[in-house]
């Protein structure tokens, strides 16, 4: 491994447009809001009061308990909730944890569509998935997605009806 000797001049990045723009405090966007000492000095608590737990809260195995303040807008439910519970049994540094959470999100989308249909609301999936903007800004990509989806649906339909034709 080569090291830079003290006799070699340091490389300058001044030729890069905008380099070092935030060195001067007057050019830093957050500078007027920065405070020294920080605003939270002298608060009346060392740790915020524990938020009441009224539903199941999934938390990392790396933490001994839940944090004092947490978001609880949508409690885990259904198959996606069970997948999330399974995901939180493994550590955050395990790829299975994150893949299960991604799977749970996808399952939750399907569950939501099912709930919409059961309540009599027919979802506009094209609009909800950004179809208008895809058509406007990426028509070739949309055509490719439609072709792939049609092929998958066609193959699925063929495989399902093939048995009844025999």
- Tens of pLDDT, residue by residue over 18-39, are 777 667 777 676 666 666 666 6
Give yes or no for a contact between 13 and 21, defined as CB atoms under 8 angstroms apart.
no
Range of 95's domain? 74-123
User: pLDDT: is 12 or 156 the higher one?
Assistant: 156
The per-residue b/e assignment along 76-98, b for 16 or more CB within 10 angstroms, e otherwise, is bebebbebbeebbeeeeeeeebe
In the numeric block, the tokens 């309540």 are attached to 119
Total domains in the fold of the chain: 2
For residues 103 and 153, give the distance between their C-alpha atoms in angstroms, rounded to a whole number. 21
User: pLDDT: is 45 or 85 the higher one?
Assistant: 85
Average pLDDT (85-93) is 89
Q: Are residues 119 and 129 in the same domain?
A: no
User: pLDDT: is 76 or 47 the higher one?
Assistant: 76
Q: Are residues 144 and 157 in the same domain?
A: yes
Q: Closest Cα to residue 123, out of 132, 133, 115, 113?
A: 113
Q: Are residues 109 and 149 in the same domain?
A: no
For residues 84 and 58, give the distance between their C-alpha atoms in angstroms, rounded to a whole number. 8
Mean pLDDT, the chain, as a whole number? 81
pLDDT of 104 above 80: yes
- Please report the sign of the dihedral spanned by the C-alpha atoms of residue 98, residue 104, residue 110, residue 113: negative
Q: Quick check: is 60 in a domain?
A: no
Q: How confident is the model at residue 1 (pLDDT cuts 50, 70, 90)?
A: very low
Q: Are residues 79 and 110 in the same domain?
A: yes
Average pLDDT (82-105) is 91
Q: Which residues contact 58 (CB under 8 A, 6 or more apart)?
A: 76, 84, 85, 88
């Amino acid at each position: 491994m080569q090291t830079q000797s003290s006799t070699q001049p340091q490389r300058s990045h001044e030729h890069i447009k905008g380099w070092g723009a935030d060195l001067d405090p007057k050019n830093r966007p957050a500078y007027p809001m920065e405070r020294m000492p920080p605003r939270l000095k002298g608060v009346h608590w060392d740790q915020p009061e524990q938020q009441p737990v009224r539903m199941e809260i999934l938390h990392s195995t790396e933490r001994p308990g839940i944090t004092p303040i947490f978001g609880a807008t949508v409690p885990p439910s259904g198959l996606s909730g069970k997948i999330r519970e399974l995901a939180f049994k493994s550590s955050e540094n395990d790829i299975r944890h994150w893949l299960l959470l991604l799977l749970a999100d996808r399952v939750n989308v399907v569950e939501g569509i099912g709930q919409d249909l059961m309540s009599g609301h027919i979802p506009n999936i094209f609009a909800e998935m950004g179809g208008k903007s895809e058509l406007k800004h990426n028509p070739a990509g949309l055509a490719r997605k439609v072709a792939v989806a049609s092929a998958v649906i066609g193959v699925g339909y063929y495989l399902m009806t093939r048995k009844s034709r025999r």
